[in-house]
Structure 1
Amino acid sequence: MSAEYVIADPVVAGVAARAAITTPGVVRLEPGLRGLVTAWTRAARQRWKGLDPAPADGVRVRTTDGRVRVEIDLVTAAADQAAAVGRAVQRAVGRSVTEQTGLVVDEVSVSILDIEPAPR
């Protein structure tokens, strides 16, 4: 008898969000319009089930046929090169999701929605 385990997309999104926000150069995760709708729906579904929603604004996860795709919307600091921060987020998210869930991430897509100016 074998047991099958399913790791829900909101769990993967929470892991990905923590990995992204702790990457140097990331100021915050920014859900954008599509992300706001997704986050609201996910939070409502989790509250309906009596669960506290995982903080995953700005992160969307799609699992299809065992393939995991993560999309992240974020804001970077002006002091850092946006492309380098994006690549670092891709590596951190892929590594964290695999380490913490055992799932192999097929793709991490990072959208940089804004670059926050340095404080004066």
Structure 2
Amino acid sequence: MKITTFIEEFDLHDSLLENISINGEKLVLDIDLCNWRQKNYSPEEDEMKVIKVTFENVQNYHLDSTNDTVDSDSILEISCTDVDSSSTSKDIKIVFEGEGDIKIMTFRSDNVTVE
């Protein structure tokens, strides 16, 4: 799925970032999603749902933090900007908080899958 579609379809605010793993050009985020915040949520569903978000063709990964471990860190914001008009890649920024520390993850990707 396109990055912009992912950001439009999934409301990650207040969801919990459980794990970050990067392997080559794949960045995998394990997220305990606030399912109740999603557009298509129905009361019969669980309020929280574990999802695995995999960004493909990742470049320029950087985590700006004094503490690079995550332990149910709360996602505050996710945004993306165009790299240039001829590219499908996006520059992505995820801001999250854990143990009183604000962490900023930035990277470039062109595709994302959600499981």
TM-score in same-fold range (> 0.5): no
The structure with the larger Rg is 1
Query: Larger helix proportion, structure 1 or 2?
Result: 1
TM-score, reference length from structure 2: 0.28
TM-score, reference length from structure 1: 0.28
Query: Larger strand proportion, structure 1 or 2?
Result: 2
